[in-house]
Amino acid sequence: MNSSTLIELTQQHGTPLYVYDGSIIRRQVKSLQDAFADVDMRIKYACKANTNLAILRLMRELGVEIDVVSMGEMQMALLAGYAPEQLTFTPSGVPFEEVREAVEAGAKINVDSLPLLEWFGQNYGDTQPCLIRLKPNVAAGGNAKIMTGHSDSKFGISVLLLDDIMNIVERYNLKIIGLHQHTGSDIKEADAFLQASEVIFKAAMRFPDLEIIDLGGGFKVSYKPGDTTTDMQRLGAEITRGFQDFCQSYGRELQLWFEPGKYLVSECGQLLVQATVIKEDPARDFVHVDSGLNHLIRPMMYGSYHHILNLSNPDGPARNYDVVGYICETDTFATDRELPEVRPGDILAFLNAGAYGFTMSSHYNARYRPAEVLVDEGEARLVRRHETLDDLLRTQLDLN
């Protein structure tokens, strides 16, 4: 999407505005499919990254299935036209009644704790197949807050408890059709995936009914020019080799699942904002924008880097700025960032805003959340309208 198209979209729909480029989603899906062309690979989009129904429908059109972490996400996937059997529910310590709802809705379940496995056995015995989420005790990922597979992580059942798992499985005659792991996010080293997959393959030999090995998500994407990313071709070749060897020893061809979130949607999205006030302080220069951590919380929550473009003045002289939001809270998008000179009214683009952008947004400070536009196959479509006061008040009961 070129700058003039993006600026036009802000003139049409206002700022702040999320804009998604469908061609990038298509490219990412294809690169994953190409890298694993030699095995029966299925993509289960971790839709917590972006649940706009237009994005979910595009995923469906591309043959991508869905991993959900709540009933709300499941309802959205169903609304987007998915069949229940295309959905996997990967809960994290949720009330068991929620798991019952997901089973009744027809989704596959990733069991993430021994108590849930026990409950599953008591309630369903051998009538309801499920997958087990293992914690491989591998530290992987770009950031301590987003590592999920190391031994102290809350996610999944430690592989060290395999005997306890087998105990419950045998007691209730549970049919375990898959083993799952998700080691973290921003993993660029193929080694981490390989290490974790070896742990899973080894454990898998104890489960005779497997149909699926699910290696999770967490592939790293590019955040700034020249960034290293997951080399998908190489990762594909190496995992394919390990997986084929495993299938041979296991005695059967299994499905290989991945659950990428970021990899599919991070780069497709930009958050477009407008510079409001340029504050030239003795210490540093601030650019205030008409958005904040209520719309894109990743910089404040994870210290994430989002590359920023000045779409209105790309050839301006370079200056260094702190780019800050309008929320009454420390609300910094970027510190000491070199940008082409920013003038009040300029449109700035925060890149990599397609994943964990809108879905993590809030009404904090009683601000409206942004609208969303999907640009795909030559057409720009508003896929979420701007909010109004009614959206802030919808659930309040003491209106007068």
Ligand X SMILES: *Cc1c(COP(=O)(O)O)cnc(C)c1O
Coil/strand/helix, residue 301:
helix
Indicate which single residue of 91, 136, 260, 370 sits in contact with ligand X (rule: CB under 6 A): 260
The two tokens of residue 274 are 């407008």
Q: Kindly state the smallest distance separating residue 220's Cβ from ligand X, in Å.
A: 8
288 binds ligand X (CB under 6 A): no
Dihedral Cα 389, 395, 398, 400, nearest 10 deg: 40
Q: Is 198 annotated as a binding residue?
A: no
- Decide if 328 is catalytic: yes
Minimum CB separation from ligand X for residue 388, in Å? 31
Residue whose CB is less far from ligand X, 263 or 350: 263
| Residue 46 found at the interface with ligand X (CB under 6 A) | yes
Query: Are 338 and 318 a contacting pair, CB within 8 Å?
Result: yes
User: Residue 196's closest CA among 217, 227, 173?
Assistant: 217
Check whether 263 is labelled as a binding-site residue.
no
Least Å distance between CB 6 and ligand X? 24
Q: Please state, in angstroms and as integers, the Cα–Cα distance from residue 230 to each residue in 32, 50, 185, following that order.
A: 11, 21, 11
| Positions in 48-77 near ligand X (CB under 6 A) | 48-49, 67, 69
User: Looking up tokens 């298509």, which residue turns up?
Assistant: 26
Whether 356 has a binding-site annotation, put simply, is: yes
Q: Which SS3 state, helix, strand or coil, does residue 86 take?
A: helix
* Total interface residues for ligand X by CB under 6 A: 18
Minimum gap (Å) between residue 4 Cβ and ligand X: 31
Query: Closer CB to ligand X, residue 135 or residue 175?
Result: 135
Q: What residues contact residue 395 under an 8 Å CB cut-off, 6+ apart?
A: none
Q: Is 206 annotated as a binding residue?
A: no
Q: Which residue from 52, 90, 270, 304 is in contact with ligand X, where contact means CB under 6 A? A: 90
Is 321 annotated to bind a ligand? Reply is no
- Using the rule CB under 6 A, give the single segment among 75-83, 217-225, 318-326, 328-336 that binds ligand X: 217-225
Annotated active-site residue in 47, 130, 247, 328: 328
Site for ligand X in 347-376 (CB under 6 A): 355
Contact partners, residue 83, CB within 8 Å, separation at least 6: 106
Question: What is d(CA 240, CA 34) in angstroms, rounded to the nearest whole number?
Answer: 12
Question: From the CB of residue 329, how many other CB atoms can be counted at a distance below 10 Å?
Answer: 12
Q: Which window, 75-83, 210-218, 327-335, 364-372, contacts ligand X (CB under 6 A)?
A: 210-218
Residues 6+ apart with CB under 8 A from 127: none
The residues in 159-198 that bind ligand X, with binding defined as CB under 6 A, are 182, 185
SS3 of 53, please? helix
Residue 17 binds ligand X (CB under 6 A): no
Distances (CA, A) of 241 to 38, 208, 244, 252, 261: 9, 22, 5, 15, 24
136 binds ligand X (CB under 6 A): no
Question: In this chain, which stretch among 44-52, 76-84, 159-167, 374-382 interacts with ligand X, using CB under 6 A?
Answer: 44-52
Phi, psi of 78 (to 5 degrees): -65, -40
Which residues lie near ligand X (CB under 6 A)?
46, 48-49, 67, 69, 90, 182, 185, 216-219, 259-263, 355
Known binding-site residue numbers = 218, 298, 302, 329, 356
Binding-site residues for pyridoxal 5'-phosphate, in ranges, read 218, 356
**Catalytic positions, written as ranges:** 328
Bind-site residues for substrate: 298, 302, 329, 356
